[in-house]
């Protein structure tokens, strides 16, 4: 009855089915399956959730419920260089919001969005456990500490 | 099992280990208020997400208040359910819930039967401090052919989610998002119409607020009634007469067949007919199909699919089209009684009274919300004119009767009109789980054996167990019958059919727990299965009172075949009374 047309490539469907099989097609392993799929595809669009639903034999509504519950999971594609700004208490009181505003201005996107060329995406998170370096910014796996709004241009330049 | 002794509100109580405080309090006659908790006794299913936090109480040795619905009793526990601290907390929680709830109670379709409204009254809430500053979460309203979702009114009790997932195993809806935007929705927050929803309406029947309600077709029916160019014909399903009275304060299980007929006539319907007539007709067609398939099967014909599955229930049809499309040739091809009635009314009866089908409006009164969808299915219309124009629920009919100032309780009993109002007891029992197959057995036995059936009450087919089975002796041929009510139970039997393990010759399935008497369009029973049992008793009482109790003895059915259809399974019967099913399972489309 769904009006969603799933248009994944055959190898993508095979990959997702393979992941489900690795976890014994057990619905209890949903979060592990979603983690592996997100790691591979970068995000979890409806199409992928439909295949997982088939693979784990569980309602896609339940899967969507889990995807929307955990902030780690995303249904929009991340950029090649995902930027995360910590808005935890320590970073926040040391001006993280101004840093975030600068990223928004420079990239022309909001939190949760990607740039048109898919190069950068912007997200916020709550504490990465490096409060001594507040405010903290992550670009991919790289960590930047004591970031000021003026540093934003230079950080982005590294990825030109 | 060990027994635990505890004290609740200064009263001592002994309960088995594992009992919750909420249930222990019930033992003492203490009714702790709750908005989300719901127990479905006969199904062993409980909804206790501990989400509403209305049921909190003080528990000795515990710092915070405990949600009693999900806190287990411990030996020596001292529980207090109405201290100032508890009452304050309960009030505050209620105020929070109400601050994010629309205040249009006067015009809400649940007004009067809303549990949230009743709770506000019970807790004495007269004011919501700070409501003018409180944010209110809003959602897109979703209207499907049967059900309206107005999630602004959702309080996240998640009872609907329990019905859809645990009881029905349909999985159309789930709790999604978090925090303020949390709600219950289909995947990707699509409309219900694009989900796996079967329109069984069990979510509607447990929703405490106006978040889930039926699509109201009373205005369209009223317009048809006042249109002088239309002949308006009404049919009433068996389960309606056993429950309608509840909406007027009568005890569950009060039969109001005659008063309902009088009320429908007073509303202005030109012909007051009975779906029970079409139920008798269904037995003729389905019974014949059963005997045909069975005898071919016994002769070794492998193309004869056994078991045969009943097909009266539109929620069930939607379910197997979505989940078991590979078995779509297994159910009987017989249309449901609602649709058989429409097909006969707009051909045979329209001819009889000399009018064009376009000038006839067929209205059905159903205990069901899926019937609204069913009558809109394309295959059930001729040149765009549907066989059944509008299907309204028992609840909608009650509202209609109230609007029309009809004092139904004091009406004199009246009879249905002839010929499409004449029925046997076999037609009546369609309303309860096991009834269709019992009715089929009464007729199939006599047709198969050529002998008179001495014992009409197949009590072994009755009852409330979710999955039942019985073997009926067809004069030496043991006929294995399976029965399931509730789609989760149906799934169990279907899995066996799919894997080839099923030993049944015939299976009856009803989507709703209890059968049609527990349908999604019935007066709200608030999870109380005693109400459903009382309705079942009423149905079997009506059956016993009928002079004729076998479908093939209905003289008007015999006449219908003589004058119009020929014989059961004839070409004309097939054209008018049978249907086919579709594969509605989602397809995974692979991009090349």
Supply B577's token pair.
């009374």
- Contact between B6 and B73 under an 8 Å Cβ cutoff? The reply is yes
Pairing of strands B66-67, B56-59: antiparallel
Q: Are residues B455 and B475 in the same domain?
A: yes
Closest CA of chain B from A10, distance in Å: 6
- Provide the shortest C-alpha distance from residue B446 to chain A (in Å): 42
Residues B66, B198: one domain?
no
Strand, helix or coil at A88?
Answer: coil
Chain B residues whose CB is inside 8 A of the A44 CB are none
Task: Map residue B257 onto helix, strand or coil.
Answer: helix
Q: Out of B312, B368, B375, B512, pick the active-site residue.
A: B312
Same domain for B21 and B142, yes or no, is: no
What is the interface size between A and B, counted as CB pairs within 8 Å? 86
Residue B191 within any structural domain of the chain: yes
Same domain, B496 and B455: yes
Q: Are residues B78 and B29 in the same domain?
A: yes
CB contact under 8 A, A61 and B589: no
Q: Are residues B390 and B498 in the same domain?
A: yes
Tens of pLDDT, residue by residue, chain A (160 residues):
344 555 789 999 999 999 999 999 999 999 999 999 998 998 899 999 999 999 999 999 999 999 999 878 988 888 889 999 999 999 999 999 999 999 999 999 999 888 989 899 999 888 888 899 999 999 988 999 999 999 999 999 999 8
In the annotation, is B289 catalytic?
yes
Q: How close, in Å, is residue B45 to chain A by CA atoms?
A: 19
A124 contact B CB<8A: no
The last residue of one of the domains, among B153, B188, B214, is B214
The answer to whether A8 contacts B590, with C-beta atoms less than 8 Å apart, is yes
Q: How many residues does chain B have?
A: 592
Question: Is residue B118 domain-resident?
Answer: yes
Which residue of B173, B178, B589 is in closest CB contact with A61? Answer: B173
Residue range of the domain that includes B434: 218-577
For residue B230, is it within any domain?
yes
Chain-centre distance for alpha carbon B12:
40
Query: Are B355 and B233 members of one domain?
Result: yes
Q: Would you say residue B88 lies in a domain?
A: no
What is the DSSP secondary structure assignment for residue B473, as one 8-state letter?
E
> Could you confirm whether B374 is annotated as catalytic?
yes
Contact check, Cβ <8 Å, A6/B177: no
Angle in degrees, CA B160, B208, B526, rounded to 5 = 85
The answer to whether position B586 is within a domain reads no
Where a domain ends, among B164, B183, B214? B214
B379's CB contacts (< 8 A; 6+ apart) are: B579, B580
In angstroms, the CA B590 to CA A34 distance is 20
Closest CA to B205 of B486, B539, B490: B486
Q: Are residues B201 and B340 in the same domain?
A: no
DSSP B408: G
Q: Which residues of B touch A7 (CB under 8 A)?
A: 589-591
Residue of A nearest to B180 (CA): A69
Please list every residue in chain B whose beta carbon sits closer than 8 Å to the beta carbon of residue A5. 589
Task: Note whether residue B592 is domain-resident.
Answer: no
The CATH number of residue B151's host domain is 3.30.70.20
Measured between CA atoms, how close is B199 to chain A, in angstroms? 12
CB atoms within 10 A of CB A36: 18
Distance (Å) of CA A89 to CA A99, A136, A138, A142, B403: 14, 11, 16, 21, 59
Q: What is the CATH number of the domain that holds B14?
A: 3.10.20.740
Q: Let me know if residue B583 belongs to a domain.
A: no
How would you write the pLDDT of chain B (592 residues) with one tens digit per residue? 789 999 999 999 999 999 999 999 999 999 999 999 998 877 778 898 899 999 999 999 999 999 999 999 999 999 999 999 999 999 999 999 999 999 999 999 999 999 999 999 999 999 998 888 888 888 999 999 999 999 999 999 999 999 999 999 999 999 999 888 899 999 999 999 999 999 999 999 999 999 999 999 999 999 999 999 999 999 999 999 999 999 999 999 999 999 999 999 999 999 999 999 999 999 999 999 999 999 999 999 988 889 999 999 999 999 999 999 999 999 999 999 999 999 999 999 999 999 999 999 999 999 999 999 999 999 999 999 999 999 999 999 999 999 999 999 999 999 999 999 999 999 999 999 999 999 999 999 999 999 999 999 999 999 999 999 999 999 999 999 999 999 999 999 999 999 999 999 999 999 999 999 999 999 998 888 899 999 999 999 999 999 999 999 999 999 999 999 999 999 999 999 999 999 988 666 665 4
Taking the CA atoms of chain B, what radius of gyration do you get in angstroms? 25
Q: Are residues B363 and B302 in the same domain?
A: yes
Going along chain A from its start, the domains and CATH numbers come out as 10-69 (no CATH), 81-157 (3.40.30.10)
Indicate which residue of B195, B332, B336, B423 is catalytic: B332
3-state secondary structure of B60: coil
- CB–CB of B25/B16 below 8 Å? no
Q: Which residue of B170, B187, B196 is in closest CB contact with A64?
A: B187
Q: Does A46 touch chain B (CB under 8 A)?
A: yes
A11 at B interface, C-beta within 8 A: no
Per the CB < 8 Å rule, is A8 touching B588? yes
Domain boundary among B165, B195, B214: B214
A65 in contact with chain B, both atoms CB, cutoff 8 A: yes
3-state DSSP assignment of residue B229: coil
Active site residue B379: yes
Q: Is residue B314 part of a domain?
A: yes
Nearest alpha-carbon partner for B200 in B430, B429, B516, B490: B516
Q: Could you tell me which residues of chain B have a Cβ less than 8 Å from any Cβ in chain A?
A: 165, 170-178, 185-190, 193-197, 322, 584, 586-592
Closest Cβ opposite residue B586 in set A8, A50, A62:
A50
- Beta strand A120-125 with A81-86 is parallel
Best to test chain B binding among A61, A65, A73 (most B CBs inside 10 Å):
A61
B326 and B261 in a single domain? The answer is yes
ipTM of the complex: 0.88
* Structural domain count of chain B: 3
**Cα→Cα distances B496→A32, B185, B327, B424, B489, Å:** 31, 31, 12, 34, 11
Q: Are B108 and B75 found together in one domain?
A: no
Same domain, B406 and B459: yes
């Amino acid at each position: 009855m769904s009006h969603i047309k799933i248009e994944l490539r055959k190898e993508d469907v095979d990959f997702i089915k393979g992941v489900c099989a690795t976890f014994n097609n057990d619905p209890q392993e949903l979060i592990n399956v979603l983690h592996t799929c997100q790691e591979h595809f970068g995000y979890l669009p409806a199409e992928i959730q439909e295949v997982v639903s088939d693979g784990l034999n569980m309602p896609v509504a339940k899967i969507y419920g889990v995807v929307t519950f955990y902030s780690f999971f995303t249904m929009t594609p991340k950029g090649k260089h995902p930027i995360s700004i910590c808005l935890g208490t320590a970073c926040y009181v040391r001006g993280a919001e101004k840093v975030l505003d600068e990223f928004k201005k420079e990239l022309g996107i909001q939190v949760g969005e990607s740039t048109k060329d898919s190069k950068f995406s912007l997200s916020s998170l709550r504490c990465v456990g490096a409060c001594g370096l507040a405010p903290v910014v992550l670009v991919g796996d790289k960590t930047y500490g004591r970031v000021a709004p003026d540093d934003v241009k230079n950080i982005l330049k590294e990825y030109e | 099992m060990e027994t635990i002794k505890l004290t609740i509100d200064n009263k001592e109580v002994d309960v088995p280990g594992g009992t919750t405080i909420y249930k222990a309090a019930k033992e003492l006659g203490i009714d702790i208020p709750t908005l989300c908790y719901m127990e479905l006794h006969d199904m062993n299913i409980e909804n206790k997400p501990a989400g509403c936090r209305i049921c909190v109480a003080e528990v000795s040795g515990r710092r915070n208040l405990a949600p009693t619905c999900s806190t287990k009793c411990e030996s020596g526990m001292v529980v207090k359910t109405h201290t100032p601290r508890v009452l304050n907390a309960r009030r505050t929680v209620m105020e929070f819930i109400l601050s994010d709830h629309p205040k249009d109670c006067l015009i809400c379709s649940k007004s009067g039967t809303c549990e949230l409204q009743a709770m506000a009254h019970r807790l004495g809430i007269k004011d919501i401090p700070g409501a003018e500053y409180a944010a209110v979460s809003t959602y897109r309203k979703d209207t499907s052919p049967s059900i309206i979702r107005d999630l602004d009114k959702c309080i996240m009790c998640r009872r609907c989610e329990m019905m859809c997932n645990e009881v029905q195993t349909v999985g159309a809806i789930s709790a999604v998002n978090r925090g303020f935007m949390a709600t219950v929705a289909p995947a990707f927050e699509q409309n219900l119409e694009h989900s796996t929803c079967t329109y069984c309406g069990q979510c509607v029947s447990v929703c405490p607020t106006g978040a889930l309600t039926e699509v109201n077709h009373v205005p369209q029916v009223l317009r048809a009634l006042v249109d002088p160019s239309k002949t308006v014909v009404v049919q009433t399903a068996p389960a309606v007469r056993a429950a309608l009275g509840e909406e007027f304060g009568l005890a569950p299980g009060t039969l109001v067949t005659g008063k309902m007929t009088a009320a429908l006539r007073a509303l202005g319907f030109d012909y007051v007919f009975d779906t029970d007539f079409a139920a008798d007709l269904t037995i003729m067609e389905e019974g014949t199909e059963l005997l045909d398939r069975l005898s071919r099967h016994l002769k070794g014909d492998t193309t004869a699919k056994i078991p045969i599955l009943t097909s009266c229930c539109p929620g069930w049809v939607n379910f197997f089209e979505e989940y078991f499309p590979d078995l779509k040739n297994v159910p009987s091809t017989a249309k449901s009684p609602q649709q058989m009635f429409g097909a006969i009314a707009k051909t045979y009866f329209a001819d009889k009274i000399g009018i064009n089908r376009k000038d006839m409006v067929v209205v059905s009164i159903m205990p069901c919300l899926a019937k609204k969808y069913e009558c809109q299915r394309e295959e059930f219309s001729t040149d765009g004119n549907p066989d059944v124009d509008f299907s309204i629920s028992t609840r909608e009919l009650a509202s209609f009767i109230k609007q029309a100032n009809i004092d139904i309780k004091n009406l004199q009993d009246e009879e249905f009109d002839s010929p499409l109002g004449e029925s046997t007891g076999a037609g009546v029992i369609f309303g309860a789980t096991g009834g269709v197959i019992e009715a089929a057995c009464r007729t199939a036995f006599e047709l198969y054996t050529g002998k008179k059936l001495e014992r009409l009450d197949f009590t072994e087919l009755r009852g409330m167990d979710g999955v039942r089975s019985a073997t009926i002796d067809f004069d030496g041929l043991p006929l294995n019958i399976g029965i399931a009510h509730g789609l989760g139970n149906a799934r169990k039997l279907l899995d066996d059919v799919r894997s080839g393990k099923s030993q049944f010759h015939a299976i009856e399935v009803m989507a709703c727990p209890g059968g049609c008497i527990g349908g999604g369009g019935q007066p709200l029973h608030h999870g109380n299965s005693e109400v459903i049992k009382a309705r079942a008793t009423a149905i079997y009482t009506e059956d016993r009172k009928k002079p004729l109790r076998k479908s093939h003895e209905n003289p008007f059915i015999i006449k219908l075949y003589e004058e119009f259809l020929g014989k059961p399974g004839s070409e004309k019967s097939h054209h008018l009374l049978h249907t086919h099913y579709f594969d509605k399972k989602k397809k995974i489309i692979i991009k090349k």
